[in-house]
Structure 1
Amino acid sequence: MSSQPADSTPERSRIRVAVVFGGRSSEHAISCISAGSVINALDPEKYDVVPIGITTDGRWVLESNEGGRLALGPAGELPAVTGDREVALSPEADLVVSEPGAVPTRLGEVDVVFPVMHGPWGQDGTLQGLLELSGVRYVGAGVLSSAVGTDKMFMKLLFAAQGLPVLPWVLVRPGAWERDEAAISEAVASLGYPVFVKPARAGSSFGISRVDRPEDLGEAITEAQRFDPKVLVEAAAEGAREVEIGVLGGLDGKEPRTSAIAEITVDAAHTFYDFEAKYLPEQNTALQVPADLGDAVAARVRQFALEAFAALDVEGLARVDFFVFDDGRVVLNEVETMPGFTATSMFPRMWAASGLEYPELLDHLVALALARGTGLR
């Protein structure tokens, strides 16, 4: 990587993409794994990739270009951002690297940032706001849609306001359980057991518990609050099938399009689609693409996915998750504005099944970011 101004080197014939990952959230390791896959798949003939990791204490550092270093270990070891070559993004969208005892080095201007960030302090509009202030183009949803898409409470309120079907839920604000356990217990009982207790602003199934008995509710709320002081208790979609679909923004004024629909099945080793089922190399999770839904149900899933994408004002990409009941009802679960990009992640796999392979998918996302410009839009 050259230390000269970027526009004076032959590398400027390539698009400079800063892949930003890691961060302060509980999803730090998953972000690293996703970023490793993205780094490996970005064509070096087209892109000058600059990997920037954010440590768990919030420092930005220049990371290795070896995406394999960010992979899940053979025994399930989780990667993390390390290093002491600190990086700053200047108001001119230049990257400046500072090393202990050395003169800061200017790496040059960034064309686009690919924020492979999951969870708070990255996926929730905070990083997007920084990039907007810096006038830097970036992949994915903007400030507001990122923030709403990360907070399950506001997401559900917005979907309900748009007439989209969601499961009934109860909000437990910070300190509310301690102040009035009886009132919350009564509200949750009205949902009917079992319920799922979730951190409102966490992903990757961290902190989620299935609760079958009222006496276990307090423990589940405490567990969820390890990840977020604001907690959502949601009615269980008993007997429903879990399906997902990808939405991808259109270039040159074209409308967003949807991928093949996938169905996830988890065997009895897991009571729900938890962290281990999602990310660890087991044989307990199966993905069927395309899902066997029937034309009418599939059409509803596609329509609701596009409506949810529009309701959140998402740009670029989203994965939309649904519950499908035996009677044909389709209920919206959530929208992921920066879905996982690991080797086993559903979003790339659904698009591959739709004829758009991983490298071409990344090309499309970078092209979308470059085309939309900066500022209000």
Structure 2
Amino acid sequence: MKKRILLLAGGQSGEHEVSLSSARSVLNALPEEHFEVTPLVISKRGRWLPPEGTALALGQGAAEDGGELVLHGVSRAGDYDVVFPLLHGPMGEDGTVQGLLTLAGIPFVGSGVLGSAVSMDKVVAKDVLAAHGIPQVAYRLVTRGAWRANPEAAMGAARELGYPLFVKPANLGSSVGISKVRAEEDLTAALDVAFGLDRRVILEAMTAEKPRELEIGILGNDAPIASPVGELRFDAEFYDYHTKYTEGEATMHIPADVPAEVAARVRELALTAFRALDCAGLARVDFFYVERTGELFLNEVNTMPGFTTTSMYPKLWEAGGLGYADLVTRLVELATEDR
């Protein structure tokens, strides 16, 4: 019998359009003889759209906000074997939708509430990974309330890290809201941008020289496996939103041209991080590699990475011998395993 899959896409985060692109790829790639896939788009206001609204959103871009009630889709989800919450960022990848589906008793692709929530918040994830001895760049947390009450404390934290540094919203992906700050006089503007997107912001030190960016895919539940290591190359100062989503601005190299011992260490650290954060199903783990010194720093763990046919995560597994349709099939199987 065909597996009935409810594919959730869109969502309320700044990565709404990225999610729609991923969903279009899944819909076009899955073999109809094995799957009966029903898409359901969540608008930017959190409405679970009816079929006509979903079709419009997937055909023409962002979802319109007219439509059905916020939680109407939950009752519909119970009609399916598995839900694929192909949602990126807050209100989708952060444990909120995972909690809803868990309460409803519906199997779903990806990490559960704990793994999703902890991995989404860059600061909490880094705190957990630090406890497991995983190397990372130095970082500091600044909250919106603390910044308003005592801006000098945030300035002091930045001075401790040293300039230049990065300012990032703690709970967004796709490089949304990230600024490279070269001097103290630019810090306030960067924090204003980040606090406009999240009440928690992370300050991150830079490596001594521009690192190479390595990425690896993890697949599995209690016995996860790692893909070949890939590398992103680009001319921009860092992997910002424009570079990430503008064709030709960045290139993927799979497998990455790194020494065998570096690739092995990346796989080891990625699997350790996956288990430490209680991830399940899938994750893409990103690293900085300083070639001159051989240093590796874990950058972040994405529990629902971009999933177009040209995205890094599916390409990593394609290099590992698992094609796009087979990869999604495996994720559906993992969703129904006892965890």
Scaled by the length of structure 1, what TM-score is found?
A: 0.84
Amino acid at match of 2:67: D
CA–CA distance in structure 2, aligned partners of residues 339 and 356 of structure 1: 17
Q: CA deviation at 1:179?
A: 2.2
1:95 corresponds to: 76
Alignment of 1:202-351 (within 5 A): 202-237=172-207, 238-249=209-220, 255-267=223-235, 270-281=236-247, 283-325=248-290, 326-351=292-317
Instruction: State the identity %.
Output: 47
Cα contact 1:36–1:68 (8 A) shared by 2: no
- Superposition deviation, residue 344 in structure 1: 2.9
Letter in 1 for 2:76: L
Partner of 1:361: 327
- Contact kept, 8 Å, 2:53 with 2:67, in 1: the verdict is no
Partner of 2:11: 23
Q: Which residue is equivalent to 1:100?
A: none
Q: Does 1:162 align with 2:132?
A: yes
CA distance, structure 1, for counterparts of residue 177 and residue 57 of structure 2: 27
- Tell me the distance in 1 between the aligned counterparts of 2:25 and 2:321: 19
Question: Of the candidates 4, 13, 21, which is equivalent to residue 33 of structure 1?
Answer: 21
Aligned partner letter, 1:261: V
- Return closer, same or farther for 1:227/1:156 CA change in 2, 3 Å cut-off: same
CA RMSD of aligned residues (A): 2.0
1:51–1:64 contact (8 Å) kept in structure 2: no
C-alpha contact (below 8 Å) 1:51/1:62 kept by paired residues: no
The match for 1:7 is none
Aligned residue type for 2:218: V
SS at match of 2:336: helix
Deviations 1:245-272 (A, max 9, x none): 000006xx7x2111111111111xx321
Deviation at 1:66, TM superposition (A): 9.3
Report SS of the residue matched to 1:95.
Answer: helix
- Report the counterpart of residue 82 of structure 2 in structure 1: 112
Shift of 1:67: 8.3
Distance 2:53 2:337 in 1: 26
For structure 1, which runs of at least 5 residues remain unmatched after alignment? Answer: 1-12, 74-78, 97-107
Distance 1:63 1:330, change over 3 A: farther
Task: Decide whether the 8 Å contact of 2:54 with 2:63 is kept in 1.
Answer: no
Deviations, residues 331-376 of structure 1 (Å, cap 9, x unaligned): 111100000112331101111111111111001001111223xxxx
Mapped to 2, the partners of 1:183 and 1:39 lie a distance apart of: 49
Q: Secondary structure at the match of 1:260?
A: strand
Structure 2 matches for 1:66-85, cutoff 5 A? 70=58, 79-82=61-64, 84=67
TM-score of the aligned structures, taking structure 2 as reference length:
0.93
- Listed one character per residue, the Cα deviations across residues 207-244 of structure 1 (whole Å, up to 9, x for unaligned) are 00001111101100001111112110100123211100
Shift of 1:89: 4.3
- Larger C-alpha radius of gyration, 1 or 2? 1
Change (3 A) 1:67 1:293: farther
Match in the other structure for 2:2: 14
How far apart are the structure 2 equivalents of 1:27 and 1:280? Answer: 15
Q: Aligned in 2, Cα 1:85/1:181: closer, same or farther, shift over 3 Å?
A: closer
The answer as to whether partners of 1:196 and 1:208 remain within 8 angstroms in 2 is yes
CA distance in 1, matches of 2:129, 2:155: 25
